[in-house]
Structure 1
Amino acid sequence: MEPVTHFLTGACLGRAGLNRKTALATVTLTLAAEAADLDFAWLLKSRTVYFAHHRGFTHTFLGVPFVAAFVLALVWSIRWAFLKLRNGQTLKSRFPRPPIRWGVLYLYACLGALSHILLDYTNNYGVRPFAPFNPKWYSLSIIFIIEPILLAALTIGLVMPSLFGLISSEVGARQKAPRGRGWAIFALLAMVSYWSVAEFEHNRAISAMEAVDYHEQQAIKLNASPVWMNPFQWTGTVETRDFFQTMKVDSLTPEVDPENRATLYYKPPETDVTLAAKKTYLGRVYLDWAMFPFVQTEALQAPQQGSIVRFTDLRFARPGQKRVGLGACVFLDPQLQPMPGGGFRDCE
């Protein structure tokens, strides 16, 4: 998921009652819920290296204790710097604050890191939670990477207590405890409820796709990817012996390719050029991740000589659209050796 959803989820976890056990709970959970994405630092080396390590160690169960330790050290450092600036004086509060319990905060940081893996698991990019013992990618494929419905629910869960607090202060009502617990629980339950609906509809879409013959060929592999802000519309991807096919799937009906706009991608023959490209570092990394890898080859235009090999994962293709996101390309010279250029990007 995108970072905002992770941050909001961590904040709601803290406001749901965990902040009543120890001070600094909400800030710890908020930071821990997004800390796994610190793997973006691999971009400093190259996009290909970043792609190889993205959703890697920091997104594994083995990495959770280390992510949590990093977050706890960060929270301690921020608190130390804050107290230094204020000469050791903390901010005053209208309500009694629980003491800081660093052991409990570490467990909360682990919970926040686990929530990040769970949220990333719900979309179709996938995670490798059991690496390095099991490097297999797992994806539930029920939530689009940016989901406004979840963002709205989480935002409401955090904003509404402040709004009601303003109203109460205007009418002179007395507040005995910090607000927000009920609304935060509501937001988290709304998230789980949306997941449940999406999972149910996803299974209906998959069942509908399994019942279809594709140009008199059986599906070897199939998947339904989520669509932005609509748990009843899916993008289906199917692999058969001779081709891939993408189509829209309506899980409410349910119906496969209701608009008759399916797109076919015939599998090209394997050649020395494609085999050489697949053996490169980028090729190996990409094929390890891709669920429906489609490989195309074309000759480079003069004055260069050689070939360009394009890798695309068709689970990110949309019926009727030529451009496929999250692609990569490899440039090979006439001796089938990698040339400068290419990388994890769309090669126009």
Structure 2
Amino acid sequence: MEPVTHFMTGAVLSRSGFNRKAAYATLAMTLAAEAPDLDVLWSLKGPVAGLEYHRGWTHTFLGVPFEAAIVTGAVWLIHRLLQRRAMPRASHYGEPDPPVRWMRIYWFSVIALLSHILLDWTNNYGVRPFFPFNPRWYEGSIVFIFEPVMFLLLLAALTAPALFGLVGSEVGARRSPYRGRGWAIAALTGIVGLWSLRFVERQKAMELTRQAGLRQEQIVRMTADPFPGNPFRWQTVTETPLAFQVARVNTLTGEVSSSSQADVYYKPPSTLAALVAKRSWLGHVYLDWSQFPLVNDIGETEDGLTTVTFRDLRFLYGTSILGRDGVPLAGTVFVNGDRRVDHMEMNGHIQR
């Protein structure tokens, strides 16, 4: 998921009751809920390095205990800084503040870190939670990387208590401590309900695609990928021995839309340049991650370099805007006349 959703998830989790058990629970859980995405710093070494290490060890069960310790240490430093500056923690309207309990902060951070892995599993990019013991990618593919319904539920859980608190203060109502627990629990319950609906609709989208019989060949495998906002709109990718076919499915109406020309991608032959590209750094990383890779040798450039493109058919969103060659998470390897890699690009950015 995108960062703001992760941050808000940590804060809402804390408001569901954890913030009553230990001071700094909300701070720790909010930070921990987004901490695994610090691996984006690998992108400073180039786009291929970013692809290789994104959702790496920071998104694994093995890394969670160490990340929780780092988050707890960061909160401890903030606590010490506040003490040195003699800055008291905010009181809760005459109610006693929860005590500072570092072991609880540590375990609350573990819970928030696990929420990050769970949320990333729900989209179609995937995670490797058992790495390095099991390098397999797992993806639920039930929500888009940005899901508006989830976002609004989390936002409501964080803002509604404050708004209703303002209304209550105008009429002289007593402001209760730790407001928002009911809103937080309702938002989390709503998200689980949304996931359940999307899981059912995803299975239905694949079944409708099978019934449509778009390909007369034997189906090797199939996936369905979500669109944002609408739980009844899906993109399916069907693999057969000779080709891939993309379709758009509306599970509410049962409509399956696919062009026998524009939406069919025949598996290209393995040219010498394509084989060189597959053995490159980008090729190795991309094929390790991609679930439905399409590797095309599209010929020579004016500089005499052979261009080999890497695309994953799960990410053909917005092709009417970006164009067929503007697929997100696409890579390119340029092979020279000596059949060596000249340079590599990811999403148009050159790996230095």
Q: Please, what TM-score do these two structures have when normalized by structure 1?
A: 0.94
- How far residue 10 of structure 1 moved from its aligned partner, in angstroms, is 0.6
CA distance in 1, matches of 2:169, 2:117: 39
Q: Does 1:338 align with 2:337?
A: no
Structure 2 partner of 1:307: 306
Structure 2 partner of 1:236: 236
Residues 92, 177 of structure 2: 8 Å contact kept: no
CA distance in 1, matches of 2:254, 2:345: 39
CA RMSD of aligned residues (A): 1.9
- How far residue 257 of structure 1 moved from its aligned partner, in angstroms, is 1.7
Q: Does 1:35 align with 2:38?
A: no
- How far residue 259 of structure 1 moved from its aligned partner, in angstroms, is 8.3
Residues 21 and 35 from structure 1, CA distance in 2 versus in 1: closer, same or farther, beyond 3 angstroms? same
For structure 2, which runs of at least 5 residues remain unmatched after alignment?
none
CA distance in 1, matches of 2:296, 2:176: 66
CA distance in 2, matches of 1:142, 1:237: 15
CA distance in 2, matches of 1:250, 1:293: 25
Structure 2 partner of 1:54: 54
Please, which moves more after superposition, 237-246 or 129-138? 237-246
Structure 1 partner of 2:205: 205
Query: Identity of aligned pairs, percent?
Result: 46
Residues 326, 346 of structure 1: 8 Å contact kept: no
Question: One-letter code of the match for 2:313?
Answer: L
Deviation by residue 1:217-254 (Cα, 9 ceiling, x = unmatched): 12212111001111001011111111111110112233
Structure 2 partner of 1:159: 159
Q: How many residues align?
A: 345
For structure 1, which runs of at least 5 residues remain unmatched after alignment?
none
Residues 347 and 166 from structure 1, CA distance in 2 versus in 1: closer, same or farther, beyond 3 angstroms? closer
CA distance in 1, matches of 2:165, 2:232: 37
Please, which moves more after superposition, 54-63 or 212-221? 212-221
Structure 1 partner of 2:6: 6
Residues 299, 305 of structure 1: 8 Å contact kept: no
Residues 255 and 78 from structure 1, CA distance in 2 versus in 1: closer, same or farther, beyond 3 angstroms? same
Question: One-letter code of the match for 2:346?
Answer: F
Deviation by residue 1:272-320 (Cα, 9 ceiling, x = unmatched): 1111110111101000111111111133333x22311100001111476
Question: One-letter code of the match for 1:331?
Answer: F
Pairwise mapping of residues 254-273 of structure 1 onto structure 2 (< 5 A)? Answer: 254-257=254-257, 263-273=263-273
Question: One-letter code of the match for 1:77?
Answer: L
CA distance in 1, matches of 2:264, 2:121: 28
Question: One-letter code of the match for 2:208?
Answer: A
Task: Provide the secondary structure at the position in 2 that maps to 1:246.
Answer: strand
Question: One-letter code of the match for 1:71?
Answer: V
Residues 112 and 3 from structure 1, CA distance in 2 versus in 1: closer, same or farther, beyond 3 angstroms? same
CA distance in 2, matches of 1:201, 1:345: 31
- How far residue 262 of structure 1 moved from its aligned partner, in angstroms, is 5.9
Residues 138 and 227 from structure 1, CA distance in 2 versus in 1: closer, same or farther, beyond 3 angstroms? same
CA distance in 1, matches of 2:119, 2:196: 13
Question: One-letter code of the match for 1:9?
Answer: T
Residues 213, 219 of structure 1: 8 Å contact kept: no
Q: Does 1:297 align with 2:297?
A: yes
- How far residue 70 of structure 1 moved from its aligned partner, in angstroms, is 1.2
- How far residue 90 of structure 1 moved from its aligned partner, in angstroms, is 3.9
Pairwise mapping of residues 119-158 of structure 1 onto structure 2 (< 5 A)? Answer: 119-158=119-158
Task: Provide the secondary structure at the position in 2 that maps to 1:343.
Answer: strand
CA distance in 2, matches of 1:219, 1:300: 34
